[in-house]
Amino acid sequence: MLQPVIDPEIAAEHAADLAEKGLTFMGVDVFDATNFWMLLLRFGFNLLICWFIIQFFYYRKSHRRDYYFTFMLFSVTIFLLLFLLQSIPMQIGFALGLFAIFGMIRYRTETVQIREMTYLFVIIGISVVNGLSMEVPYVSVAVANMLFLLVIWALESSRFLRHTSTKIVLYEKIELIKPEKSDELIADLKERTGLDIRKVEVGHIDFLRDAAFLKVYYKAASDEINTIDSITKFS
C-alpha cells in the first residue's frame, strides 16, 4: 500500500497561509487580532478625550446629567459606526451626511441651547476624526485631539474670555426705563436683586400694565450656567 508523501516545506507554507488568513465564516473573518486591538485602543482613546471634555469643561459649569448622558452615547455611537464601516468607499461622504442629519435634529421636549449644540457638534467631530483616521500616524491623531482640548480650555477659561451672565427681568417701575435715568435703574436693580449688574437693556414695554422686560447683564458669583436665564415671559 502506497503511503502519501508530505513535503514538510509545503505543509509549513500551507499552515502559515491558514494562520495568516485566520478562521472565516461565510467569507468573513471570525477574529482579526490587529483590528481587535486597534478597535480597543482607539475606542479607549476617543472615549477618554470625549469624557475629559464633557466632565471638566461642559459639566463643570452646566451640571446637566441629561446632556452628559447624550454626549457620551453620541461619542460611542459615532465612533463605533465609523470605525466598523471604515471600509465603505463613501466613508467621507457618509461622515458628512451624519453632520447634515444631526444638523436637522430638533428636540421637541425643550429648546436646546447653543452651548449644548456646540458641544454636541464637537463630540461628533472628535469621534469622526478618531473613527476615520486609520491611516493617519498616531502622533497626528493625538495632536489633533490635544488641539481640541486646548482650544476648548482657552475658550472656557476666564483668563481669556470673561463670562457675563444675563437675566430677563419683568420690571414694574416703568418711569426708570428712560435713558437719562439709567443710573437710577441700575441702582434699583442692584438693591432688589443683589446682583453685580453691569448693563441693562430695555425690551418689550407694556404701557397697559406699566411693566417692561429688561435684559440684565451681571457678573455671576460662579462660572456655572443658569439654564433658565433665557426665559422672556410668563406663559
106, 126, 156: which is the final residue of a domain? 156
Chain mean pLDDT for the chain: 79
- Is 122's pLDDT higher than 50? yes
* H or E element in which residue 171 lies: strand 165-171
The model carries a pTM of 0.66
Q: Please, which pLDDT band fits residue 120 given cuts at 50, 70 and 90?
A: confident
- Is 227's pLDDT higher than 70? no
Buried b (16+ CB within 10 A) or exposed e, 50-69: beebbeebbbeebebeebbe
Count how many domains the chain has: 2
- Is 145's pLDDT higher than 90? yes
Q: Which residue has the higher pLDDT, 49 or 222?
A: 49
- Is 181's pLDDT higher than 60? yes
Q: Are 127 and 82 in contact (CB under 8 A)?
A: yes
At 194-224, the pLDDT tens digits run 888 988 999 999 988 889 999 998 887 766 6
Domain shared by 136 and 191, yes or no:
no
Segments forming the whole domain that contains residue 67: 32-156
Task: Identify which of 59, 79, 61 has the alpha carbon closest to the alpha carbon of residue 69.
Answer: 59
* H or E element in which residue 169 lies: strand 165-171
* pLDDT given for residue 1 in this prediction: 47
Domain shared by 149 and 54, yes or no:
yes
Q: Kindly state whether residue 87 falls inside one of the protein's structural domains.
A: yes
At 84-107, the pLDDT tens digits run 776 555 555 665 666 565 555 554
Domain shared by 49 and 141, yes or no:
yes
Q: Which residue has the higher pLDDT, 178 or 10?
A: 178
Q: Kindly state whether residue 12 falls inside one of the protein's structural domains.
A: no
Domain shared by 112 and 181, yes or no:
no
Domain shared by 51 and 145, yes or no:
yes
